[in-house]
Amino acid sequence: MSFRLRVFLLTLVVAVVATGATAWFSLRFMAQQIDRSQQEATRHVADIADTVRAYGRRHGTWAGVSERVRQLSADNHQRIRLVNLNGQVTVDSDNLAKRAARPVVGTPTLINPRPALSLDPRQLGLIAAKADGLVLDELARYRRASVYARCLTDMGQDPPPVAPDAYGIPLPATEPEHGECAVQARDAQEYAQADDSTAVTNCRSAADHGACLVQAFGNQVETFAPEPLQLFLGAVDDDAVTLLGRPTAGAIGAVLVLSVIGTALVARQLARPLRSLTAASRRLADGHLDTRVATTGRDEVGELSRSFNRMAEALEGAETAQRRMLAGVAHELRTPMSNVLGYLEALQDGVVPPSRELFSSLHEEVLLQRRILDDLQDLTLAEAGHLAYRRTGFDLAELVEVSRVAHLAVAEHGGVRLTAEAAGPLPVHGDQDRLRQVLGNLVTNALRYTDPGGAVVLRAFPLPGRAVVEVRDTGCGIAPADLPFVFQRFWRADPARDRETGGSGLGLTIARQIVLDHDGTIEVTSTQGEGSVFRVTLPIVGAERLTPRRGSP
Ligand code: ADP
């Protein structure tokens, strides 16, 4: 999986988990909150309704209830509206506060201040007359208390508190005895006594005497007790923060912390291979060229690790090559140097007499050292890609002929027949001098390793898209085991003999580099004792790219 895709997926996982957890916590707390606020609202409505109902029962009238409603509305930050069953408004807190009416929500709650008589029918079944008397008595006491309380309320006084008696009728602890209101209460009772009596007595003929008595009580109470009201409430001025509350904020905080931890873990996981790469680069920079990193995965980081290892290998290889090269150079120069030094010391000590031959030999040794150094410089430049090439279009067939002519004298001197078969033109594009150096090296080697009486043939011919030059000799050849090494620097089949002939052991290495720089190939086939064939192939170009030859060899 690619590094980019991995980063994307891991980040996505963190984001999805964080979002999911936030949503889950929010919904859960929201549901709890709504549930709780619904319960509270129900309890709240019941509390307000109870307070209002208690007022009606204690005062026997709704007169003066507005003060209580104003208080309740202020305490609850809510609009409270009381409407009778005919739709007339008894009291509205927003009207009282002289503010714009807020909308009411939900269904109204019925507030009925009229008490219902609770009688056990079995009791009634036993003694009917006693039951009648009991109902009349309760009715009389309730009417007196109710009229008395209403009278006190009208006069601006507080009526005594009431509590339900054994039959559920709210009554004060004591009967009203003195004062104007007590008189009013007794008068009202006396006035209604006959009516009450009739209503109760009518129940004697009823099928269900008990139920009839309860009904009669209710009917009589309706004539003096305060009417039922409907309670409407406006919305509470809750804000969102109250609704969300502390638990939700806590949940969001927890999810945030979890996301941060998750992202940190993901980042750590992703950064691990990069950290190990950084550490490895530092080690490499400190000179530990054998440093490698683990290459797991096919993603970008894996690719980076593999590139790092390739780079480290190249560096290590380059260093080894450099070390080998230095060792080779030291080795190659030491022998001619030692020869020169030995002769000079012998001359100094008078052990050897100075002679023309000796100086000629010393001259040869110094020339060899210079050639080694020149070749080394060429090779170093070529391998670093700094060898300057002056490229032109020229005929390779002509170059072959030029090389043949240049080496004729040496060939004749060595008793070797040197011939050329060149089917031109073979237009190539490259540095004529450097390619002549390559051919010269091949021809020199061929003449060098061919005994008198042998032959060296140069051939130039075309192949599809390529121009080929072959240098074929009938010399000593190269052993199959040695063939892979001929292009290696300082390699010689027979170091002693080659030194004799003035070879640096770098000629073929330089030749190969020059040919490679011309996008060509160089290869060798050889049979020991029969001869060798060196073959150079170069890309052929159009004849129109040929430029006039710069001069004769
Ligand atoms: P040198 O300058 O010593 O000739 P080269 O790099 O040109 O070095 O050649 C490397 C070695 O390859 C030679 O020392 C020789 O042993 C072998 N070699 C090259 N050309 C021929 C050839 N035509 N026949 C036999 N051996 C050859």
Give residue 239's pLDDT. Answer: 47
d(CA 398, CA 551): 11
CA of 477 from ligand 1 middle (Å) equals: 10
Q: What is the mean pLDDT of the chain?
A: 86
| Position with higher pLDDT, 123 vs 360 | 360
Give residue 398's pLDDT. Answer: 93
Do 409 and 349 sit in the same domain of this protein? no
Ligand 1, pocket-test mutation among 376, 474, 508, 528, most atoms within 8 A of CB: 508
The two beta strands, 104-111 and 229-234, are antiparallel
Is residue 144 included in any domain, yes or no?
yes
Q: Is pLDDT above 80 for 499?
A: no
Nearest CA to ligand 1 atom 21: 445
Nearest CA to ligand 1 atom 12: 486
CA of 540 from ligand 1 middle (Å) equals: 28
CA of 298 from ligand 1 middle (Å) equals: 46
Residue ending a domain, among 214, 246, 278, is 246
Is residue 405 included in any domain, yes or no?
yes
Do 349 and 441 sit in the same domain of this protein? no
What CATH number should be reported for the domain holding residue 352? 1.10.287.130
Nearest CA to ligand 1 atom 25: 477
Give the residue numbers spanning the domain of 454. 389-545
Residue 386 amino acid letter:
H
Name every residue whose Cβ is closer than 8 Å to that of residue 501 and which is 6 or more positions away in sequence: 448
Sign of dihedral through CA atoms 344, 347, 351, 353?
A: positive
Task: Show the tokens assigned to 111.
Answer: 């507030």
Do 449 and 355 sit in the same domain of this protein? no
CA of 204 from ligand 1 middle (Å) equals: 149
Check if the beta carbon of residue 231 is closer than 8 Å to that of residue 109: yes
CA of 438 from ligand 1 middle (Å) equals: 13
Do 145 and 12 sit in the same domain of this protein? no
The binding-site residues of ligand 1, defined as CB within 6 angstroms of any ligand atom, are 441, 445-446, 449, 473, 475-476, 478, 486, 491-494, 498, 503-509, 532
Is residue 397 included in any domain, yes or no?
yes
- Whole-number Cα distances in Å, 215 to 18, 129, 211, 311: 65, 17, 6, 107
CA of 505 from ligand 1 middle (Å) equals: 7
Do 412 and 504 sit in the same domain of this protein? yes
Do 455 and 526 sit in the same domain of this protein? yes
Q: Is pLDDT above 50 for 241?
A: no
Nearest CA to ligand 1 atom 16: 493
Ligand 1, pocket-test mutation among 457, 482, 492, 527, most atoms within 8 A of CB: 492
pLDDT, mean of residues 214-229: 92
Ligand 1 atom with the smallest distance to the CA of 506 is: 6
Domains held by the chain: number: 4
CA of 460 from ligand 1 middle (Å) equals: 21
pLDDT, mean of residues 434-463: 94
For 318-342, write each residue's pLDDT tens digit. 888 788 778 878 877 887 788 889 8
CA of 501 from ligand 1 middle (Å) equals: 11
Residue ending a domain, among 332, 356, 386, is 386
Which of 165-169, 246-250, 361-365, 398-402 is predicted least confidently?
A: 246-250
Give residue 551's pLDDT. Answer: 47
CA of 486 from ligand 1 middle (Å) equals: 7
Nearest CA to ligand 1 atom 14: 492
CA of 445 from ligand 1 middle (Å) equals: 6
Is residue 217 included in any domain, yes or no?
yes
Do 421 and 353 sit in the same domain of this protein? no
Highest mean pLDDT among 110-114, 310-314, 534-538: 534-538
Give residue 124's pLDDT. Answer: 58
Give residue 216's pLDDT. Answer: 92
For 40-50, write each residue's pLDDT tens digit. 777 888 999 99
Q: Is pLDDT above 90 for 110?
A: yes
pTM of the model: 0.50
Is residue 422 included in any domain, yes or no?
yes
Nearest CA to ligand 1 atom 4: 503
Using left for φ > 0, alpha for ψ between -120 and 50, and beta otherwise, residue 287 falls in left
Angle at 356 between CA 350 and CA 360, to 5 degrees: 105
pLDDT, mean of residues 157-179: 89
The length of the chain, given as a count of residues: 553
Is residue 518 included in any domain, yes or no?
yes
CA of 436 from ligand 1 middle (Å) equals: 17
Give residue 246's pLDDT. Answer: 67
Highest mean pLDDT among 18-27, 272-281, 438-447: 438-447
Give residue 129's pLDDT. Answer: 75
CA of 343 from ligand 1 middle (Å) equals: 28
Nearest CA to ligand 1 atom 7: 507
Residue 498: CB atoms within 10 A of its CB come to 17
Do 298 and 445 sit in the same domain of this protein? no
Ligand 1 atom with the smallest distance to the CA of 487 is: 6
Ligand 1, pocket-test mutation among 379, 445, 450, 510, most atoms within 8 A of CB: 445
What CATH number should be reported for the domain holding residue 449? 3.30.565.10
d(CA 328, CA 334): 10
Residue ending a domain, among 359, 386, 413, is 386
Closest CA to 65 of 120, 2, 14, 113: 113
Q: Which percentage of the chain shows pLDDT scores above 70? A: 93
Give residue 240's pLDDT. Answer: 45
For 68-83, write each residue's pLDDT tens digit. 999 988 888 888 999 9
Task: Name the band, by pLDDT with cuts 50, 70 and 90, for residue 553.
Answer: very low
Do 309 and 440 sit in the same domain of this protein? no
CA of 492 from ligand 1 middle (Å) equals: 6
CA of 108 from ligand 1 middle (Å) equals: 117
pLDDT, mean of residues 443-456: 95
d(CA 224, CA 146): 8
pLDDT, mean of residues 230-234: 89
Is residue 101 included in any domain, yes or no?
no
Do 441 and 527 sit in the same domain of this protein? yes
Task: Show the tokens assigned to 190.
Answer: 């006396």
Nearest CA to ligand 1 atom 23: 446
Q: Is pLDDT above 70 for 279?
A: yes
Ligand 1, pocket-test mutation among 331, 416, 486, most atoms within 8 A of CB: 486
Ligand 1 atom with the smallest distance to the CA of 473 is: 23
Task: Name the band, by pLDDT with cuts 50, 70 and 90, for residue 392.
Answer: very high
Do 22 and 151 sit in the same domain of this protein? no
Give residue 396's pLDDT. Answer: 95
pLDDT, mean of residues 426-432: 94
Ligand 1 atom with the smallest distance to the CA of 534 is: 23
Ligand 1 atom with the smallest distance to the CA of 492 is: 14
Nearest CA to ligand 1 atom 20: 445
Residue owning tokens 């040197």:
418
Using left for φ > 0, alpha for ψ between -120 and 50, and beta otherwise, residue 453 falls in left
Is residue 207 included in any domain, yes or no?
yes
SS3 159: coil
Do 25 and 136 sit in the same domain of this protein? no
Give residue 82's pLDDT. Answer: 93
Q: Is pLDDT above 70 for 552?
A: no
Q: Is pLDDT above 90 for 3?
A: no
Check if the beta carbon of residue 332 is closer than 8 Å to that of residue 490: yes
